[in-house]
């Protein structure tokens, strides 16, 4: 769904793109790294600004020659981080700013000068994500849904009626074809890759899925990769004494290791009750890993169907294990779905195809360069429930508290 923006030829008038996003472990960071890296490869200037200190993809951004500016949320109060982020943007002078994740990234849009195109991105089809961006509709020129479903939802919301809307599907790196040998005797290799959290990811279902798989008696190796507040509890619950039915936890892994991990697995498991178009799902399918995933209209159906995976109704809590058992018992079907999954992603979900979509959505640069101030008057966030804490006296106290905390930590 295209908005009322003029297209441009990037070779004649290249944009300057800034991303505002936290850079923790997850699909949103993978998206920024993939798109920013491909834009740089095409000689489009890029800057990534994060309101937080963490950067789990530091090496990947360096390899892609993408400049990343971080801000320590533990030492800087909100207003100081906003000033620093806006200063970094003013020095870079972007023509487009894309706020990718979280209220702080949307807050930046409030302070950009006229002439800078402001875009907000929604990754997940769930009320809390629409609610997070809704207060900022007056500060943006366009809103991007990463699936058809999300963009349709935005089009139906009265608050976005005057905002251009784009559906820009994600893309991932397409690996070379790796040989997969299927034997009925080999344990099925199952992978969960993502945040270990509730409620969205519904990892509380994993012990039940494990129990169902044990009862079915099939051999399997289930690897859970990621971090989250439910990891410790799952490790306590998901124990197997049978050497042919094993569960292992790997924690977060460097992005450079993801491809090798995917090549070692047969099934990608996702039991979420809310998603957009998960990057991890696309990456898995690109490597021929067959998805056993929740049947969500949010974006999963954009890429998964009966030919390349197994769609499980969200309320069918026993369906995930049944699908896995079915694929164990029908290895020829597993192999066929693996090949079809790879082809599906190759056809429309590559990084190159994603970048083409984004470049077509960018507007022509302004006729006159935007005028950037040297300082900004930062006010309480639009979503703040207690604006008084952002007053000048409270600001002084909060800044002093951060300095004392840093002093005692170093003492």
Task: Copy the structure tokens of residue 121.
Answer: 């991105």
117-122/290-294 β-pairing: unpaired
As a whole number of angstroms, the distance between CA 391 and CA 396 comes to 9
To the nearest 10 degrees (0 to 180), the angle between helices 351-361 and 27-41 is 80
In CATH, the number for domain 17-171+353-401 is 3.40.50.2000
Residues of the chain under the 50 pLDDT cut: 1-8, 10-11
What is the model's pLDDT at position 3? 39
What is the model's pLDDT at position 177? 77
Residues near 403 by beta carbon (within 8 Å), at least 6 away in sequence: none
What is the model's pLDDT at position 184? 63
Task: Copy the structure tokens of residue 68.
Answer: 């990343």
Domain ranges of the chain: 17-171+353-401, 188-349
As a whole number of angstroms, the distance between CA 311 and CA 292 comes to 6
What is the model's pLDDT at position 346? 93
What is the model's pLDDT at position 45? 97
Beta strands in 272-352 (DSSP E): 290-294, 310-312
| Beta-carbon-side half-sphere exposure of residue 124 (alpha carbons within 13 Å) | 17
> Phi/psi at 144 (nearest 5 deg)?
-115, 125
As a whole number of angstroms, the distance between CA 58 and CA 60 comes to 6
| Domain 188-349, CATH number (from 2.40.128.630, 3.40.50.2000, 3.40.50.720, 2.40.30.70) | 3.40.50.2000
Please classify residue 373 by burial: count the beta carbons closer than 10 Å to its beta carbon, then call 0-12 exposed, 13-18 middle and 19+ buried. Answer: exposed
245-251/310-312 β-pairing: unpaired
As a whole number of angstroms, the distance between CA 218 and CA 328 comes to 8
Q: 17-171+353-401 and 188-349 share one CATH topology?
A: yes
pLDDT digits (tens, 9 = 90+) for 223-247: 999 999 999 999 999 999 999 999 9
What is the model's pLDDT at position 10? 46
The closest of 169, 192, 174 to 238, measured between CA atoms, is 192
What is the model's pLDDT at position 182? 59
Residues near 310 by beta carbon (within 8 Å), at least 6 away in sequence: 290, 291, 292, 293, 323, 326, 327, 337
What is the model's pLDDT at position 74? 87
What is the model's pLDDT at position 2? 37
What is the model's pLDDT at position 7? 44
pLDDT digits (tens, 9 = 90+) for 358-402: 999 999 888 888 999 999 999 999 999 899 999 888 988 988 888
């Amino acid at each position: 769904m295209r908005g009322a923006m003029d297209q441009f030829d990037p070779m004649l008038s290249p944009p300057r793109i800034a991303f505002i996003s936290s850079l923790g472990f997850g699909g949103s960071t993978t998206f920024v790294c993939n798109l920013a890296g491909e834009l740089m490869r095409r000689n489009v200037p890029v800057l990534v600004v994060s309101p937080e200190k963490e950067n789990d993809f530091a090496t990947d951004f360096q390899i892609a020659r993408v400049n990343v500016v971080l801000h320590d949320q533990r030492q800087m109060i909100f207003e100081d981080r906003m000033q620093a982020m806006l200063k970094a943007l003013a020095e870079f002078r972007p023509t487009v700013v894309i706020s990718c994740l979280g209220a702080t990234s949307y807050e930046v849009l409030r302070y950009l000068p006229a002439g800078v195109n402001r875009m907000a991105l929604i990754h997940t089809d769930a009320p809390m994500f629409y609610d997070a961006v809704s207060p900022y509709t007056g500060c943006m020129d366009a809103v991007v849904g990463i699936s058809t479903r999300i963009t349709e939802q935005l089009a139906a919301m009265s608050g976005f009626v005057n905002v251009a809307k784009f559906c820009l599907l994600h893309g991932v790196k397409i690996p070379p074809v790796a040989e997969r040998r299927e034997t009925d005797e080999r344990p099925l290799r199952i992978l969960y890759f993502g945040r270990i959290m509730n409620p969205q990811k519904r990892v509380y279902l994993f012990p039940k899925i494990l129990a169902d798989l044990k009862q079915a008696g099939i051999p399997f190796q289930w690897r859970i990769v990621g971090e989250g507040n439910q990891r410790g509890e799952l490790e306590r619950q998901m124990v197997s004494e049978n050497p042919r039915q094993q569960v292992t936890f790997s924690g977060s892994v460097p992005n450079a290791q993801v491809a090798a991990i995917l090549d070692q697995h047969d099934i990608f498991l996702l039991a979420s009750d809310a998603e957009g178009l998960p990057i991890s799902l696309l990456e898995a399918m690109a490597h021929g890993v067959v998805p056993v995933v929740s049947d969500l209209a949010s974006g999963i159906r954009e890429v998964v169907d009966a030919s390349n995976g197994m769609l499980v109704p969200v309320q069918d809590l026993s369906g995930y294990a049944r699908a896995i058992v079915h694929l164990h018992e029908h290895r020829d079907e597993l192999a066929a779905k693996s090949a079809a999954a790879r082809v599906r992603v190759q056809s429309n979900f590559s990084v190159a195809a994603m970048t083409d979509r984004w470049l077509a959505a960018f507007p022509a640069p302004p006729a006159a360069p935007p005028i950037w101030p040297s300082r900004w008057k930062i006010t309480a966030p639009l979503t703040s429930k207690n604006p008084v804490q952002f007053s000048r006296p409270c600001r002084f106290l909060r800044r002093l508290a951060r300095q004392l905390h840093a002093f005692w930590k170093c003492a």
